[in-house]
Chains A and B, each alone.
Chain A
């Protein structure tokens, strides 16, 4: 495996491919953050699928598999899909989600039909057109990587320049509008940046999976940070690492297409983040369980104290059953008692009687609800 990795990084072709995948990752991580923050993740999905008919049409018209026409075709048909969605939603009662669903399937369906047609054209050049579906990073050459790099730099430059304007657009467009910023132009600019990311992802990841490349890194990054700046940077890093790992996997195993390999990597990271980040599913469950345990302990401590006070002796011992009587079903009093015992707040007297230790009495005095704000 190590030998394989070393080979991968020392080989010129392999280095080109890895560089391409990493650059694509950086760009889609950054750009995807905006799609996610604007709650327009699905727009990315629609646009990448909608690029297919443009790709195939460009090939049919030009007769060759030339990079630039294909990029232009892809961008045009992606933008057309978004335009149609806006047209439909603003002129009918059809809601955005329905319009997006329709646009996605219509454009992608059309793309597949055209693809079938194009493959019947007797020309060797059409070979590999279907690679745009799931991507084929191993076909990347220096020129492709250059295009990815330049387009990516353009996207990053736009994001860098209009950082504060884009923040307004994502957070509070109305407020931004009142300050004289044209939200419409900014919206167009963000769309342009997303489209350029999709276009450069076509060869590597493919139209079907490109949306995950935009969304998953941003979602993963959002779990770990509360600042937009670090979210964007983290998303870029996650996507870049996934891109490189995916390409390496696809090169290392036979018949593993690159796109799916990259997407599996990025999805694993996203999944892990959603589950285990500081606000993740398991982390929250864990915190919840801990706080429930604390509350139960406090409750038992207080019950023991209240009972003891009835005897004017804070250290008076009571049976475990008596404590259990006043509590809800399923409340394991014994468990809480053992935890309190371990903390040194209670001690056992005889078979099943318990009493507060001096430490426990001290603790209960601190337990007044006002003082114990967590």
Chain B
């Protein structure tokens, strides 16, 4: 859609001074973050570091105490259609009476706007998204019959239907099988290669360097952000996780071995 007119110098996502509090607890403190167009970024940090809150507050789902979010240089509120959201799989009730294809179709509701119902075009779009995540044969299944990995693929397909340029994913690999994980990584890498921007909350530090080129390490504040090579260091991880991590990226990379 507007991806043709995107200026590659303007970051896909720019977060300035973002601060979020729940009651008297500060969850995110003064986050400044720039995500370049076409990059694939991992958001890592310990439990309760505010990773989910970061993803949600970028989209205005939780109120910001302070801060500005812009997408391709314009305020988020004007750029909703450029942003696709893949919430945590566990955030919805999978026993809801609906089919796989109807769930995927929800991704087209934003384009349809109020009251208009999805039609044939939306149906085709949903089917082709399901094909991309290799779930076409499940199109008419009840969503209650899906496995965890299949649920995640459905959520990804729903986001693909939105044909946005920025993808925000909350733990897309949480509790999915290895095949699904590989399939999702492949799709996300394809998106990034096609100039889309991917920001994903990620838990498994072992796969960070394999999946992502950039990383944002968060613990209430932003510990560091940048390319995985430069920022994914044990020093930064120690700062974010305290003594609670035994993962030392340097040991894996001979280049960095002293």
Q: A residues near B, CB below 8 A?
A: 37, 39, 161-165, 167-168, 170-172, 174-181, 222, 225-228, 231
- Smallest beta-carbon distance B110→chain A, Å: 3
Cβ contact within 8 Å between A164 and B117: yes
* B91 contacts partner chain A, Cβ-Cβ < 8 Å: yes
Q: Is the CB of A180 within 8 A of B110?
A: yes
Task: Give the CA-CA distance A222 to B114 in the complex, in Å.
Answer: 27
Chain A contacts for B91, CB-based, 8 A: 172, 174
CB distance from A56 to the nearest CB of B (A): 38
**Nearest B residue to A221, CB-CB:** B97
Set A177, A181, A227: member contacting B114, Cβ < 8 A: A181
A sample of 19 inter-chain contacts (CB < 8 A) reads A37-B97, A163-B117, A164-B112, A164-B117, A164-B118, A167-B106, A171-B93, A171-B98, A171-B103, A174-B56, A174-B87, A175-B87, A178-B59, A178-B110, A179-B110, A226-B142, A226-B144, A227-B97, A228-B97
Complex CA distance for A228 and B95, rounded to whole angstroms: 11
**Of B93, B97, B115, which is in contact with the most chain A CB atoms at under 10 Å from its CB?**
B97
A181 engages B109 (CB within 8 Å)? yes
B234 within 8 A of A: no
Rounded to whole angstroms, the CA-CA distance of A154 and B96 in the bound complex is 26
CB-based contact A175/B106 at 8 Å: yes
Total A-B pairs, Cβ < 8 A: 73
Verify A165–B114 contact, CB threshold 8 A.
yes
Residues of B within 8 A of A163 (CB): 117
What are the nearest 10 A-B pairs in CB distance? A179-B110, A226-B142, A178-B85, A178-B59, A172-B92, A180-B80, A228-B97, A226-B97, A171-B96, A231-B97
Other A-B pairs beyond A171-B103, A179-B162, A180-B80, 17, CB < 8 Å: A164-B109, A167-B98, A171-B92, A171-B93, A171-B106, A172-B106, A174-B61, A176-B106, A176-B109, A179-B109, A181-B109, A222-B97, A225-B97, A226-B97, A226-B144, A227-B98, A231-B97
**Cα(A280)–Cα(B91), bound, Å:** 26
Residues 80-127 of B contacting A (Cβ, < 8 Å)? 80, 83, 85, 87, 91-93, 96-99, 103, 106, 109-110, 112, 114-115, 117-118
A352 to nearest B CB, angstroms? Answer: 45
Interface size of B as a range: 20 to 34
Binary flags per residue of B197-208, CB closer than 8 Å to A gives 1, else 0: 000000000000
B87 cross-chain contacts in A, Cβ below 8 A: 172, 174-175
Docked pose: A155 CA to B92 CA in angstroms: 26
**B244 vs chain A, min Cβ distance (A):** 28
- Of all chain B residues, which has the CB nearest A183? B61
Q: Whole-angstrom distance from the CB of A34 to the nearest CB of chain B?
A: 12
Chain B residues near A165 (CB, 8 Å)? Answer: 109, 114-115
Q: Give Cα A225 to B83, complex, Å.
A: 34
Interface residues of B in 38-95 (CB under 8 A from A): 56, 59-61, 80, 83, 85, 87, 91-93
Q: A168-B109, A171-B106 are in contact. Are A178 and B80 (CB under 8 A)?
A: yes
Closest chain B residue to A177, Cβ basis: B61
Q: Which residues of B contact A181 (CB under 8 A)?
A: 109-110, 114
* Given A164-B112, A164-B118, A172-B106, A178-B83 contact (CB < 8 Å): yes
User: Which residues of B lie under 8 Å from residue A178 when comparing CB positions?
Assistant: 59, 61, 80, 83, 85, 110
The residues of A that contact B142 with a CB separation of less than 8 Å are 226
By a CB distance below 8 angstroms, the chain A residues around B114 are 162, 165, 181
Shortest CB–CB separation between residue A255 and chain B, in angstroms?
Answer: 40
B85 touches A175 (CB 8 A): yes
Query: Which residues of A lie under 8 Å from residue B59 when comparing CB positions?
Result: 177-178
Choose from B85, B110, B115, B162 the contact partner of A162 (Cβ within 8 Å).
Answer: B115
CA distance A161 to B115 in the complex (A): 6
B115's closest neighbor in chain A, by CB?
A: A161
Min CB–CB distance A175 → chain B (angstroms): 6
**Chain A residues near B144 (CB-CB < 8 A):** 226
Give Cα A150–Cα B87 distance, bound, in whole angstroms: 40
